[in-house]
Structure 1
Amino acid sequence: MIDDAGHPQPEVLYEVSDHVATITLNRPERRNALNWNAYALLEQALRDASANNDVRCVVVTGSDPAFCSGDDVMEIMAGPKKFASPKDQMTVRHKPTPAAMAALECEKPMIAAVNGAAIGWGMELALYADIRIASANARFSEMFIKRGLVCDVGGFYRLPAIVGPAKAAELLFTGDIIDASEAERIGLVSKVVEHDALLGEAYALARRIAVNPPLALRFMKEGLSRSAFGDPQEIGAWAIATIRRLMETEDHKEGVASFLEKREPVFRGL
């Protein structure tokens, strides 16, 4: 992204004010789709927020018009630097996506201020937050099935605990897009507000959290994670191994090609 003075802007913005860290995905021209660099910057921002003793709450959002539209298809799914092929997998250690683990291991309470589309890994990112507040413009979809893939650790590890196993199965098996009101109805988000009020609402909540004792907040979050979700490492490792395998299938290639060619896919189970 280029600012008004013609200077390039980071693809992920990070700032701290009043004990609140704000992480903003900043590729609005790509609807905040994540390329390899953005993934790395997001991971680093989450690690920095977790390690910074001045931070007591984290707000994650996107530069309008989207929250995050998932992976950048041109770079990650259609580009040269893809996941390892099956013949290389014996030398690859299957482990969860680094940015996912940075989010899940963040010791600070995290709020997702979902300002627009949260699609694919964008929905995963929202799931990694402890609390989700949505703009009326928000849309959600675990669309991995449409690309012949499975979701990351968020869809398997957190979604069933948040919305229930049956609703999670419906969202994962169909790849359907739901709007903000439906997301609120099923408990995916805590609240839906007018678009212009979203960040104000998120920061008001973050400040109410940040005035509390930092150590108690850390252990409160840990206790909630232990009771509701357990350990994500095993399911995350399985998900990444499966994604690598599926990325070599003809159905995945058809899912990507149909997206780029703006047509309906034809899947053959190959």
Structure 2
Amino acid sequence: MTSEKTILLTIADGVATITLNRPDRLNSFTAAMHAELREALAEVQDDKTVRCVLLTGAGRGFCAGQDLSDRAVAPGTQGPDLGVSIETNYNPLVRSLRALPMPVICAVNGVAAGAGANLALACDIVLAARSASFIQAFCKIGLLPDSGGTWTLPRLVGHARAMGLAMLGDKLSAEQAEAWGMIWKAVDDDKLAGEALALARHLATQPTKGLGFIKQALNASSTNDLDAQLDLERDLQREAGHTEDYREGVAAFVGKRAPQFQGR
């Protein structure tokens, strides 16, 4: 008897939908789940029909972070080396999401806690159900935010709010997260799945390489100085100008018709 897959992947209409699938554990991560997610992302990377990724969770939560009952991280007579778990699983996951040359949408359908919150924030556009919440729960068990949280949070909400979220571990509602600029939008619960999929399908019809360049440039701007960023814009714009989608976009504009982008 085979166990149920903890990661579900479907590809249709240019959209790769990745669903975290441990609903009975609020989609909390185990080492096995990380391995399945790596396989899914590798498949997405290799599939030339994929032009947008949609990440969400099954059941009533998005992701509660690390499953603390997983033997790889559970404290015993000797403290576990959590750095190994981060280096093996979480850091490559965040790097993979940010490096994908296409938009990654996250639909947060419930609680996003710990690494689950920071996994969502590693995506390019985050939508959340109004009943959803974000919790930097690490401080409750003597840890610090990982999965890029200490880098992402202050850039999204500022130093003071990031410090408060990290040190207090308070629940932040989806609507407050939107007001603070931490996510793109909070939507009614019954509309989240439909709106997220519609957005993903829209982005899958747009100039994919150009969107990938936007993602690359904005991500780099967090650490580049102005001169380095100007040089990067020049180099990426040069590449964008050689794409078929740029030629199609200009031709459509001049011809006063809707463009038909192919992602090339």
TM range (shorter): 0.7 to 0.9
> Kindly, what percent of the aligned residue pairs are identical?
38
| 8 A Cα contact 1:161 1:229, kept in partner | no
Structure 1 position 163 matched with structure 2 position 157: yes
Query: Which of residues 9, 14, 20 in structure 1 aligns to 2:9?
Result: 14
One-letter amino acid of the counterpart of residue 101, structure 1: R
Distance 2:47 2:145 in 1: 30
Q: 8 Å contact 1:50–1:108 — kept in the other structure?
A: no
Using the size of structure 1 for normalisation, the TM-score is 0.75
* Equivalent residue letter for 1:84: D
How far 1:108 sits from its partner (Å)?
Answer: 1.6
Residue aligned with 1:73, SS: coil
Cα 1:44/1:183, change in 2 over 3 Å: same
Letter in 1 for 2:57: G
DSSP-derived class of the 2:198 partner: helix
Please report the RMSD computed on the Cα atoms of aligned residues, expressed in angstroms. 2.6
Mark the runs of 5 or more structure 2 residues left unpaired by the alignment: 225-264
Tell me which amino acid in the other structure corresponds to 1:77. V
State whether residues 16 and 50 of structure 2, in contact with CA within 8 Å, keep that contact through their aligned partners in structure 1. Answer: yes
Report the counterpart of residue 253 of structure 1 in structure 2. none
Give the alignment's TM-score, normalised by structure 2.
Answer: 0.76
How many residues are aligned here? 221
CA contact (8 A) 1:12 1:24 kept: yes
- Please tell me whether the aligned partners of residues 67 and 122 of structure 1 are also in contact (alpha carbons under 8 angstroms): yes
Q: What is aligned with 1:257?
A: none
- Cα distance change of structure 1 residues 125 and 153 upon mapping to structure 2, 3 Å threshold: closer
Q: Which has the larger radius of gyration?
A: 2
After superposing the two structures, state which structure 1 stretch, 128-137 or 35-44, moved more: 35-44
Output the CA distance in 2 between the equivalents of 1:79 and 1:149: 13
Structure 2 counterpart of 1:22, which letter?
T
Deviation at 1:165, TM superposition (A): 1.8
State the Cα distance separating 1:29 from its structure 2 match. 0.6
- Which of 210, 215, 219 matches 1:225? 219
Question: In structure 2, do the counterparts of structure 1 residues 150 and 93 end up closer, same or farther at CA, with 3 Å as the change threshold?
Answer: closer
Structure 1 unaligned spans of 5+: 1-5, 231-270
1:128 is aligned, of 76, 100, 122, to 122
Cα offset, 1:51, TM superposition: 3.2
| Bigger mean CA offset, 173-182 vs 114-123 | 173-182
- The residue number in structure 1 matching 2:54 is 59
Question: What does 1:3-42 align with in structure 2 at a 5 Å threshold?
Answer: 8-42=3-37
